Every structure is written in structure tokens, then in C-alpha cells.
Amino acid sequence: MENSAALRTWLDEMNLDHPLVIAGPCSAETEEQVLKIAHELKDSDVNYYRAGIWKPRTRPGNFEGVGSIGLKWLQKVKEETGLKTATEVANRNHVELALEHDVDLLWIGARSTVSPFIVQEIADALEGTDKIVLVKNPVNPDLSLWLGGIERLYKKNIKKLGVIHRGFSTYEKTKYRNIPEWQLAIELQNKFPDLPLVCDPSHITGKRDMIFDVSQAALDLNYDGLMIETHFDPDNAWSDAAQQVTPTALKGIMRDLKIRKETNEEAEYKSKLSNLRAQIDVIDNGLVENMGKRMKIADEIGQLKKRKNVAVLQSQRWNEILGKMILEGEEKGLSEEFILRIFKAIHQESINHQEKIINA
């Protein structure tokens, strides 16, 4: 994207002394609910009040949103509280209705980002708009698809653009609802530093008690803002109850987050250092997680060897692995000595796991 520095202008013009905050219920349920939450958030750090009007669910039969009537409720939010409004759009009709009701910020959801056809339809409908448009990452970890969505919008002369990182779906069971895959967002940030980046810890975690930690990790990685689902009665919300926080809890999260500002040379140094260290933390966590997965596979191999009465140490296989890793390490600028140390330790841990199984 040429002249991508223009993308940050809309955020800079807000001149905020805190991260951009987009908050509100996962779904607009009733007019009373929408207005009650908005009034509880109006004297907080919230810049945009979000509410899902159309809620496409993974499977039919669940609550799928109140539809366009909810846009009138968002208009009342703006009239009564002064908060700007935000909602998700998934087709041309959604766009036209949202613009008709003067919604200030529109975002394209993860299920829509996966389809260039859908994104193009939305881009055509938004051509030349001065509204802010954010693109959530696709459900699968595909950076090109994510950037492709932004490029389609940019080519339609939509300059107030940004992205939302909401994590990626996986068949594996982890502590997250959607695995962050922080490295993908970091790569996007490094390629396009002028593209505002918002984190959605609600969808990454799926659990309200993890939202603070993920929000802090995002700010440590120099994210520009947060989108946090907020409800006055989260346990009885009509959708995504487990990941919503109360307005009071949201205010507490924003109060307790450590926000690093670049106000002078020393602060800039500390901010960059914190960012780089946060990137290392992301990689280190990935290393430990992958080592855990590797040892589980080693356990399965141990079970096979036990059934077949095969010795734990297979020298030929070990030498093949070591030779391959030394060559790959050289390509990545890693010394042979370092590779030998690391993989000898990994190999020994695998042997320990298998011996426990065989000798059990």
C-alpha cells in the first residue's frame, strides 16, 4: 500500500492519552440493554461504543442478532451519551443500513475476511467513505488474506483503515478460545507500521478473567487499541457470555494497564526495548508449547516401542535428525555448537520420557 502513512492520520487526529478503546456488548439485545451499558461507559476511556446488530453464528438456531432495529438504538446511544458508534458489517445491505444510521466505525468480521468476494462487495459499497473501517484477521492464520482485505478497501479510496487481531481458530484445545499467533500480527505491524492495530482480547481468550493479561501483552507489543466486549449482566448475555466484562471491570482494566508512551528519547528507548522483549516472550512461549507437543509425540513413540520391545535409543535416527538440524541452523545463522547443545538436551528429554513408559 503506497503512502500508507495516511492510514494513521485518523488515529493521530484523535490525540488520545490512552489506547483507542472500542467497547460494548457482543450483541444488541434490547433497547434498554444497549442504552444502559452505554450510559455506564460514557464517562470512561471508551471512544467507540460497539454492538453486534447482525450475528452470524457458526451453527444456525442460536441468536443471530436483532437486525436493523438495533441501528436505531445505536443512534440513541450517540444522542444520549455522545459516544461514537461501531458495528460489524458482512454484506452490501449491512453497509448501506449502517451508513444510513450514521454508524461511525465499521468492522469486517473474521468469517467475512476469509472471502475476497465478501470483502470486495463491502469495499464497493463503502467506496470513498470517510468512516473508519477495520478488518479482523481471517479465522485461519493467513497473513496474505488479511492484508488482501485491507488492500481491496484501500483501492476503493477508503483511507481510514485499520486491523483487529482477534486470534485464530484451531482444532487443538488450548487455554485460548482463538490462539493469538502473536508473530503474525507482529509481522503485519513490522511490514505496515502505519496501519493502526487493535487487539480483541475478548475473542482471543473467550474468558473474562484472561482479558487483562492479553490486553497488557498487546500494549507491550505497541498495539494502538483494544476492543473489549462489555455487558452489565455478562452471565446472562444472549451471546458470548463467558468473555464479556462489566463496565466497572472494564474501567478497572483500563486503570491497571501499564501504558508506555513515547514522550522523549529515553521513553522511546524503553518503549522499543519493551516491544522487542515482548516479541521474544511470544517466541519463547511458542518454543515451550512446541516442546510440550514434541514430548507428547515422544510418549506415543515410547508406547509403540514398548509394545514391540524395541530399544529406546535409535542411533541412526538420532544422527539423521542432528545432521539435518545442523544444516538448517547454519541457514538461520545458528552455530553448530548451539544446535548440538539444544538438540542433545531435547533428545535426552525424549529418552527420559520413553524410558519412563517402557519401565513403567
Task: Give tens-digit pLDDT for 5-62.
Answer: 667 889 988 988 889 999 999 999 999 999 999 999 999 999 999 999 998 766 677 7
Q: Are 70 and 29 in contact (CB under 8 A)?
A: no
* CA nearest neighbour of 298 among 281, 312, 311: 312
**CATH architecture for segment(s) 4-259:** Alpha-Beta Barrel (3.20)
Residues 6 or more apart whose Cβ sits within 8 Å of residue 330: 336
DSSP 109: -
Q: Which CATH number is associated with domain 268-358?
A: 1.20.59.10
DSSP 137: P
pLDDT number for residue 171? 79
Q: Are 114 and 138 in contact (CB under 8 A)?
A: yes
Q: What is the dihedral of CA 8, 10, 11, 15, to 10 degrees?
A: 130
pLDDT number for residue 265? 67
pLDDT number for residue 120? 98
Residues 6 or more apart whose Cβ sits within 8 Å of residue 248: 40
85 phi and psi, to 5 degrees? -115, 160
- This prediction's pTM: 0.77
Residues 6 or more apart whose Cβ sits within 8 Å of residue 296: none
Adjacent-strand bridge partners of 89: 108
pLDDT number for residue 3? 55
Q: Are 121 and 90 in contact (CB under 8 A)?
A: no
Q: How far apart are CA 333 and CA 98, in angstroms?
A: 52
Domain ranges of the chain: 4-259, 268-358
Q: Are 103 and 74 in contact (CB under 8 A)?
A: yes
pLDDT tens digits for range 102-146: 999 999 999 999 999 999 999 999 999 999 999 999 999 999 999
Q: How far apart are CA 79 and CA 86, in angstroms?
A: 14
Which residues of the chain are under the pLDDT cut of 70? 1-6, 57-59, 260-267
